[in-house]
Amino acid sequence: MERSEARREGPVLECRQLSKIYGAVRALDQVDLAVQRGRIVGLLGPNGSGKTTLIKTAAGLLTPSAGEMLVCGRQPGAATKGLVSYLPERTYLSDWMRVEDILCLFRDFYSDFDLQKAEEMLFRLDIHRMDRLRTMSKGTREKVQLILVMSRRAELYLLDEPIGGVDPAAREFILGTIIGNYSEDAAVVISTHLIRDVEQVLDDVIFLAYGHVGLSAPVEELREEKGKSIDELFREMYRC
Amino acid sequence: MTWNLAGDRPIWLQLTEQIQLRILTGEYQAGERLPSVRELAAQAAVNPNTMQKALTELERSGLLYAQRTSGRFITQDGERIREMRCRMAQGETRQFLARMEELGFSAGEILELVRRQVEAEEGKAEEDSDDGTE
């Protein structure tokens, strides 16, 4: 895919007065935000705060009710699918699939998929081409999917709860894999409520609650200004 | 050696200390090439910019030096590494003394305790071969 210079200017992800309404529920309510190139951004918020809705909209799976969402300056759709590498909260891969099937699927679907890179990472984890997803532990399955998503040379990585439900060792592997593999001028958005675990890998944080952006700032700045960890800050802001 | 990072102090500062420790203990040898920022960040599961800040700090203190095309290296100045190791040992000793004084021990008693402890450990390690500490 050609990557024109024009596309490299401006934010990778931008929301302008973005709203998503389900019946009486405002999942996103006039959200304004921008994610710049080269940044690892934490999309943090309690359950039901709109994290997944925001990510799905950026991935082109949901359409805004009002306002605008832009990925590299374009509305999410067929044109942005090749720019965005998306790790959904729940898998879309079937149990019966072998590692080999999944590798082929990614190679066929995404021209920016680096097959060799994926194979190397899987090999290091002692995962074989003929292994079936069904026979893997939950943690291993999560690792496999993350490896696939991070083996693409995308402009924007959208990772929805990549460390939910895995043990601490797997968490470290997953975070290490994200850092070791994202393209340098791409942006990474990680949604999670496990703030303590991701805090040290983030450049910026966006706090989301009830569909609103509560806070959006560089992590170092927040820590210095408030003298607290992001985890503490979050607990204070969203105390029930 | 694994990376241990606590939440209550700046991460870059902790990274600086831990890399420094690796240099002083010889895990990273004088003159050796350091892994890339990205690689180190991935190992420690920290943000690459944070790792960059830690390395810049170590460059400023002279323990690392950058070569424009081939990366970052540990200083070749063995004297400087030894000097820093001594300074670190002095700091540790000072802290130990302060704690022992808090517990109410006199200088003579502390020396005696240390001597006895060292002898006990040597007795325990008698059968082990001497692995050549300087």
Residue A172 has pLDDT above 70, yes or no: yes
Mean pLDDT score of chain A: 90
Reduce the DSSP state of residue B64 to 3 states and report it.
strand
Render chain A in DSSP notation, one character per residue: ----GGGGSS-SEEEEEEEEEETTEEEEEEEEEEE-TT-EEEEE--TTSSHHHHHHHHTTSS--SEEEEEETTB-SSHHHHTTEEEE-SS--S-TT-BHHHHHHHHHHH-TTB-HHHHHHHHHHTT--TT-BGGGS-HHHHHHHHHHHHHTB--SEEEEESTTTT--HHHHHHHHHHHHHHS-TTSEEEEEES-HHHHGGG-SEEEEEETTEEEEEEEHHHHHHHHSS-HHHHHHHHT--
Q: Which residues of chain B lie closer than 8 angstroms to A203, CB-CB?
A: 47, 49
Q: Are strands A212-218 and A156-160 parallel, antiparallel or unpaired?
A: unpaired
Residue A169's pLDDT is 86
Round to the nearest angstrom and report the end-to-end CA distance of chain A.
48
Distance from CA of B48 to the nearest CA of A (A): 7
Helices B37-44 and A168-181 pack at an angle, to 10 degrees, of: 160
Q: How confident is the model at residue A233 (pLDDT cuts 50, 70, 90)?
A: confident
* B46:A196 CB<8 A: no
Distance from CA of A89 to the nearest CA of B (A): 21
Q: Which residues of chain B lie closer than 8 angstroms to A180, CB-CB?
A: 38-39, 41-42
Residue A31 has pLDDT above 70, yes or no: yes
What is d(CA A94, CA A234) in angstroms, rounded to the nearest whole number? 36
Q: How confident is the model at residue A7 (pLDDT cuts 50, 70, 90)?
A: low
Residue A6's pLDDT is 45
Residue A5's pLDDT is 47
Q: Which residues of chain B lie closer than 8 angstroms to A199, CB-CB?
A: 7
Residue B128's pLDDT is 66
Q: Are strands A84-87 and A156-160 parallel, antiparallel or unpaired?
A: parallel
Task: Produce one character per residue of A104-132: b if its CB has 16 or more CB atoms within 10 Å, e if not.
Answer: eebeeebebbbeeebbebbeeeebeeebe
Which portions of chain B are predicted below pLDDT 70?
A: 127-134
Tokens 């003929």 belong to: A130
Q: Which residues of chain B lie closer than 8 angstroms to A202, CB-CB?
A: 47
A100-137 tens-digit pLDDT: 999 999 999 999 999 999 999 999 899 999 999 999 98
CB A194 within 8 A of CB A186: no
Residue A227 has pLDDT above 90, yes or no: no
* A176:B45 CB<8 A: yes
For A98, what's the count of Cα atoms within 13 Å in the CB-facing half-sphere? Answer: 7
Residue A168's pLDDT is 86
What does the pLDDT average to over A161-177? 89
Q: How confident is the model at residue A91 (pLDDT cuts 50, 70, 90)?
A: confident
Residue A164's pLDDT is 84
Q: How confident is the model at residue A222 (pLDDT cuts 50, 70, 90)?
A: confident
3-state secondary structure A144-191: HHHHHHHCECCCEEEEECCCCCCCHHHHHHHHHHHHHHCCCCCEEEEE
Residue A220's pLDDT is 83
* B42:A179 CB<8 A: yes
Residue A1's pLDDT is 45
CB A146 within 8 A of CB A162: yes
Helices A115-124 and A99-109 pack at an angle, to 10 degrees, of: 160
- For B74, the enclosing helix (H) or strand (E) is strand B71-74
Reduce the DSSP state of residue B33 to 3 states and report it.
strand
Phi, psi at B34, each rounded to 5°? -85, 145
Distance from CA of A30 to the nearest CA of B (A): 30
A8 has a chain B CB within 8 A of its CB: no
